[in-house]
Structure 1
Amino acid sequence: MTSRERVMASLNFKQPDRVPIDFNAHRSSGINVIAYQNLRKYLDLPPSPLYIYDIIQQLAIVEQDVLDKFDVDTFQLGCDFDKKPEYWKDWELEDGTPCKVPVCVDVRRQGNGSFIYNSKGTIVGKQPQGCYYFEQALYPLANDDEKDDFSDYDDIQNDVMWLMVPSPPMPIDFKTPAGARELREIAAATRGKTDRAIYGIFGGNLVETAQYIFRMDNLLCDLLANPERIHKFLDVLLDRHMVNLKAYLDSVGDYIDVIGFGDDMGTQGGPQFSPEVYMDFFYPREKKMWSYIHERFPAMKICLHCCGGVRPLMPLLADAGLDAINPVQFTCKDMALEDLKKELYGKLTLWGGGCDTRRMLPQGKPSEIGPHVKKNLEILNNGGGFIFQQVHNILADIPPVNVVEMFKAVRDFC
């Protein structure tokens, strides 16, 4: 099987010739730039420029030699942007290591940290000195519980770090004819030079976008105390998403295998809200987006990044049209891998759950990694319906030897 055939077989609940492996296909299966630098050194690979394609999470572009080293079967559309010098500008990590960041992000180091500015010169993101990531600095409607007209949504989102930093990280507006043509050419070229399954990140966040704008505590209160306000907001947001989704599919739909959405709806102890709340506010809107994709591209698979203990929501997500869920955070309440595999097989592919990143990967001994991964694979691999990845990104403090042992365990299992 080619990598693409292997991934698609598993997504269709057919047993592939070996476990399909994802590394860096999306923004929750990648690696922090510091960990990536350490990994390349440990693998004795030649030095190369460090490209931080997701500046908020400080995720590095994983290069071809590393993907080949670990037999990776996936590729993120856009992660060959390092071939386009005009997309990048020089930057330095805190220790002075030179790197590149997207030219379209206004990031500045000053005083006690680094800051991201929007087009109005407002600080929307901050990375305090000594921290590995940027955090949101402004919640535009956190102190406004009266507003219920969201026709100015485009202006509001410009004040939100997670929404105004371009995704993909390049100065291409695919809603314009010229931008759509450029993105389509990039997607066609990518598909022409790899047999890996191509993952295109769309986003389509509903829960998280509302959290970014209202702040999480306010949103959770308003879902029950002021539901009409949230419905109005989500209607405006869905309209934007549908326009963008059409434009995105027009550009790249012929060239990607999996389209990625994102919405964290879980906590360590279970969902953020009840299944009834999900069905009222989010199910019909996700179903509209996902049905549109399946109608236009029946073979394309939809993957949702959704952290936390979301087991009560997973059958509902599948019913709404979801094909795969990531990162399968099995250390959360009611997320035992045996139960998820049994309940969801044939309905929802488990894209993740291969290695615990909460304790095992950062704190485990190298000798512990292999048995841990093997145990998970024995549960998840049978009959397809599983794509291997660690639970969320490889963070800055994870020892490179543990990363190598993790991928070695998958190869040995195969």
Structure 2
Amino acid sequence: MPIDLGGSGVTGIHVNVYHGVRRLMGLSEKPIRVADYSQMLAEVEKEVLERLNIDVVRIDRVLEPCHPDVNRMGWRIWRNPQGIHIEFPEHLEIVEEAGYYKAYLRGLYSGRMPKDGYYFWWGIHAGIKPPLADAKTIEDIKDFNWDQYKFTDEEIENLRKKAEWLYRNTEYAIVLPGVTKIGGLHDAGGQSLRGWDRWLSDLRIRKPLAEAVLDYIMELYRYNIKRILNALGEYVNVAIVAYDDLGTEEGPQISVQTFREFYKHRYEEIISYVKKYSKAFTRIHSCGSIHPFIKEFVDIGLDAIDPVQISARGMDPVVLKRDFGEQIVFWGGGVDTQHILPFAKEE
């Protein structure tokens, strides 16, 4: 059974917990480098990867093992509310304002953390207006700057060098953590661009507008997948194709009918496109109660799904194994990470 720790932004470890793991291992005290600013996830170091027999790594890591000449950047140290010293890239500045720690990414306000918090609320969750919140017409959707979500030649070459180096110099399975800069169709797509509740109403009462948004997102998928995987597809073992939380703790966000109307055929095209330009396995991240959608994903050839939130309604791992165990890989689900792992006692 492959083991993953830090192989993506949805299979990571919080900096505070990672600090404790390093201490238990007897490793020397030093600042923890952050791999995910919002969730405050640690970049897992080589010695920890080896001690825990980890099997997968993400392409864009910046600590060993990684390409020695890619992503050279400066770092700044910050002491988080729990007293752990962590490292951020120098282009991210954290300042105290109005009772929060606020994050400015390249000078732009991007997120905030309560004074006693553990992670940053990012983007729309930090009070930032969704970029397409005011769109009223399809023309408004068309006029939006979609090009900002295209990978540049420099970014792709950077990823190619990293992927090739990992492929030739390590035995890890290599994860491409994203095939486009918009992370999906639903949660990371329409809801991030339009707003959580606004997008749900779009799917019911403004369907032409929703279709237009999804069509432009799909254009980005086609553009980015073709260019990225033409450059480095031979080195990629797993490609995460969407970060779309389709469920809540109590049930799905949308009906299966809505899924089929707006998403299923688009996910199928994305998966087919990845397989056209690489031999990578495809994976989707989707939190919550998503049992009704798993068969839909099986139908369109998805290889794996994470995180398998077994504390959500209908996500009993015994039932999931019975219903789908021979048809799809569950990338997670071995423990209740919402309640047992963080709060339960050893006994």
Q: TM-score, length-normalised on structure 2?
A: 0.88
Q: Does 1:175 align with 2:152?
A: yes
Match of 1:278 in 2: 259
**SS of residue in 2 equivalent to 1:20:** coil
Match of 1:201 in 2: 177
Match of 1:324 in 2: 304
Match of 2:115 in 1: 129
Q: Could you tell me the percent identity over the aligned residues?
A: 27
Q: Does 1:228 align with 2:208?
A: yes
**1:12-31 alignment runs, 5 A limit:** 19-31=1-13
Aligned CA distance change for structure 1 residues 188 and 174 (closer, same or farther; 3 Å): farther
Q: How far is 1:85 from its partner? A: 7.1
Contact residue 142 and residue 218 of structure 1 kept, 8 A:
no
Which letter does structure 2 place at the counterpart of 1:70? Answer: L
Gaps of 5+ in 2: none
Q: Does 1:89 align with 2:69?
A: no
Contact residue 81 and residue 87 of structure 1 kept, 8 A:
no
Q: How far is 1:153 from its partner? A: 3.3
User: Which range moves more in the overlay, 273-282 or 358-367?
Assistant: 358-367
**Aligned-partner Cα distance in 2 for 1:318–1:235:** 23
> 1:385-410: CA deviations, max 9, x gaps?
xxxxxxxxxxxxxxxxxxxxxxxxxx
Q: How far is 1:141 from its partner? A: 5.2
Match of 1:34 in 2: 16
Contact residue 90 and residue 98 of structure 1 kept, 8 A:
no
Aligned CA distance change for structure 1 residues 316 and 239 (closer, same or farther; 3 Å): same
**Aligned-partner Cα distance in 2 for 1:254–1:229:** 37
> 1:111-149: CA deviations, max 9, x gaps?
233323466x55232223221111133133575262433
**Aligned-partner Cα distance in 1 for 2:331–2:184:** 18
> 1:79-135: CA deviations, max 9, x gaps?
23465673342030235644321344x43313233323466x552322232211111
Q: Does 1:45 align with 2:27?
A: yes
Gaps of 5+ in 1: 1-18, 164-172, 368-414
Q: Does 1:288 align with 2:269?
A: yes
Which letter does structure 1 place at the counterpart of 2:277? Answer: R
Match of 1:408 in 2: none
Q: Does 1:107 align with 2:88?
A: no
**SS of residue in 2 equivalent to 1:267:** coil
**Aligned-partner Cα distance in 1 for 2:144–2:160:** 27
**Aligned-partner Cα distance in 1 for 2:280–2:133:** 41
**Aligned-partner Cα distance in 1 for 2:268–2:132:** 28
Q: How far is 1:246 from its partner? A: 1.4
Q: Does 1:352 align with 2:332?
A: yes
Aligned CA distance change for structure 1 residues 200 and 145 (closer, same or farther; 3 Å): closer
User: Which range moves more in the overlay, 255-264 or 87-96?
Assistant: 87-96
Contact residue 324 and residue 349 of structure 1 kept, 8 A:
yes
Of residues 366, 372, 382, the one that matches 2:346 is: 366
Contact residue 311 and residue 336 of structure 2 kept, 8 A:
yes
Match of 1:315 in 2: 295
Contact residue 31 and residue 87 of structure 2 kept, 8 A:
yes
**Aligned-partner Cα distance in 2 for 1:216–1:272:** 11
Aligned CA distance change for structure 1 residues 145 and 256 (closer, same or farther; 3 Å): closer
The number of residue pairs the alignment matches comes to 331
Which letter does structure 1 place at the counterpart of 2:145? Answer: D
Contact residue 307 and residue 332 of structure 2 kept, 8 A:
yes
Contact residue 88 and residue 100 of structure 1 kept, 8 A:
no
Which letter does structure 2 place at the counterpart of 1:140? Answer: P
Q: How far is 1:329 from its partner? A: 0.9
- Larger RCO (CA within 8 A; separation ≥ 6): 1
Q: TM-score, length-normalised on structure 1?
A: 0.74
**Aligned-partner Cα distance in 1 for 2:275–2:300:** 11
